[in-house]
Amino acid sequence: MKQANNNRLYRILEWIMWMMYLNILWIGGWILGLGILGFFPATMATVVTIREWREGDGDLSFTKTFFRAWKKHFIKANVFGYFYLLIGFILYIDYFWLLNLESSFASVLFVLFILLVVLYVVSLLYLFPVYAHFDTGFFQTIRHAIILGFFSPIMTILMGICLAVIAFTWLKIQGLIVVVGVSVPLYFVTSLALTAFHSFKEKQDLLVENESLKKGEKSNA
Contact (Cβ atoms closer than 8 angstroms) between residue 56 and residue 138: no
Burial of 59 (0-12, 13-18, 19+ CB in 10 A): exposed
Look at residue 109 in the predicted model and tell me its pLDDT.
87
Look at residue 208 in the predicted model and tell me its pLDDT.
64
- Quote the CA–CA distance of 71 and 178 in Å, as a whole number: 24
- Quote the CA–CA distance of 60 and 19 in Å, as a whole number: 15
Look at residue 4 in the predicted model and tell me its pLDDT.
62
Look at residue 62 in the predicted model and tell me its pLDDT.
94
> What are the two backbone dihedrals, phi and then psi, of residue 182, each rounded to the nearest 5 degrees?
-105, -45
**Where are the domains positioned within the chain?**
2-220
Residues in the chain where the model's pLDDT stays below 50: none
Closest CA to 47 of 21, 65, 64: 65
- Quote the CA–CA distance of 80 and 29 in Å, as a whole number: 17
Coil/strand/helix, residue 11: helix
> What are the two backbone dihedrals, phi and then psi, of residue 200, each rounded to the nearest 5 degrees?
-65, -40
Look at residue 60 in the predicted model and tell me its pLDDT.
87
Look at residue 216 in the predicted model and tell me its pLDDT.
58
Q: What's the predicted TM-score (pTM) here?
A: 0.88
- Quote the CA–CA distance of 18 and 105 in Å, as a whole number: 52
- Count of residues for the chain? 221
Closest CA to 23 of 38, 51, 42: 42
Look at residue 99 in the predicted model and tell me its pLDDT.
84
Look at residue 108 in the predicted model and tell me its pLDDT.
85
Look at residue 56 in the predicted model and tell me its pLDDT.
77
